[in-house]
Structure 1
Amino acid sequence: MISLAMKVALLFKALAVLLLLGCSVIAVTQWICPFILPWEFVWYYCVGAIGVAMMVVLGALLSVLKVTLS
């Protein structure tokens, strides 16, 4: 069974990978298609990454709540 500390470390690693992937996609799109606005892409990517992080946190909170109520 994976401990809570391992889950938190994996969450931060996943968020770091999302951030790195987003930055690399922005760099590549600016190199290939310079007419795409980078800030527009950053805005939508950040909203999506924040949504994913919120779903993970909500799932963790519901999991903890389920364990404490059981």
Structure 2
Amino acid sequence: MAGSVRAGAAADRASRARRHLGPAGRHPFAHAERLLGRPLEIRDVQELVRRYLAAFGPASARDMQA
């Protein structure tokens, strides 16, 4: 049952992503807030930077400002 619930949730996210991509999926991106259906919550900027660096390795101050 849990697997089917997760699969259903993933299918729902994919369906929402297709709707937000526009006609024939011509847009190369979708806004995260529209895709998720809720505003993004950035609680701790330092934690966000730590997670970014852990995932993508060394980065400059300019990378963090982008």
**Is TM-score (shorter-chain normalized) higher than 0.5?**
no
TM range (shorter): 0.3 to 0.5
TM-score, normalising length: structure 2: 0.36
TM-score, L = length of structure 1: 0.35
Between the two structures, name the one with larger relative contact order (CA 8 Å, sep ≥ 6): 1
Higher helix share: 1
